[in-house]
Amino acid sequence: MPDISYGFIGLGNMGAPMCANLCAAGIVPCVFDAAGTAERAPAGTIVADDVAAVAQQDTVFLSLPDGRIVASVCDEILNAPGRTVSTVVDFSTTGPQAAGEIGAALAAGGITFVDAPVSGGRAGAIAGSVTVIASGPDEAVAALSAPFEAVGGNVFHVGVNPGQGQAVKLLNNFLSATAMAATSEAVQFGLGHGVAMETILDVVNVSTGQNTASADKFPKRVATESFDAGFAMALMTKDVALYFDEVQKSGSSNKVGTTMTGLWNAADGAMPGADFTEIYKYLRGDSDGETT
């Protein structure tokens, strides 16, 4: 099997640790970040001056804030002089429609697109335990087994069409957002009856109400008042809004989605710059614009 060269664009909260895990697995990418590559590049990577330089690699990974930026970067890749990239893999959360459009544009330029959003937050990205939710051609996804295993403890191939990975990622984040908000209200109800938070969580986490918020976010981020999950409220709000928009298009039930969208929009507006676990503070009534 011929050697494959790799590139990585986007070295933010998620991208930098995922890229570092690729390096730790012996997969050394050529990297670029518009916010400053040298300052963000993990040790051992090859620092590029621009997107065009990364487009000289065989496979390029993206970890970027939203679909608009992903589309812009993919346009730069398509127009890079002498590009040799044959596969683009997007770890970002863009939404199904954007993923479909990006995939079509890349396909028209002869580039295979693998839609592969991840779940697990910054802690998972650092630990190399994120869930990779891939959709794309069977052969292309199979060829990515080594880098996917390097960044994620769980890898799922959910479909062959760009956007299917996004759909699963959005419904997962919607469930995470709902669990975080509902658990915040439920815990405050229990506290109001004089029951300690630790006791509430002990009961819930061996009972039918157990969820990701009660089992992980509350013991580690809320009970400690650290609110440092490393995932911005603005990003969760964006994901919930994307979910809402896509459900509206699909015509499936959106009653809970409507409520959650309104709640997260209001919380994000009241607490700019907050961590998403600070929805607890918003629902507690102490969102005065001050965040940790």
DSSP 115: E
Tokens in use for 7?
């590139």
Instruction: Locate 67 and state its tokens.
Output: 């679909």
Number of H helices, E strands in the chain: 14, 9
169 assigned to active site:
yes
Say if residues 7 and 55 touch (Cβ distance below 8 Å): yes
The DSSP H or E segment spanning 112 is: strand 112-115
Catalytic residue among 169, 217, 238, 281: 169
Q: How many residues does the chain have?
A: 292
Residues marked as catalytic = 169
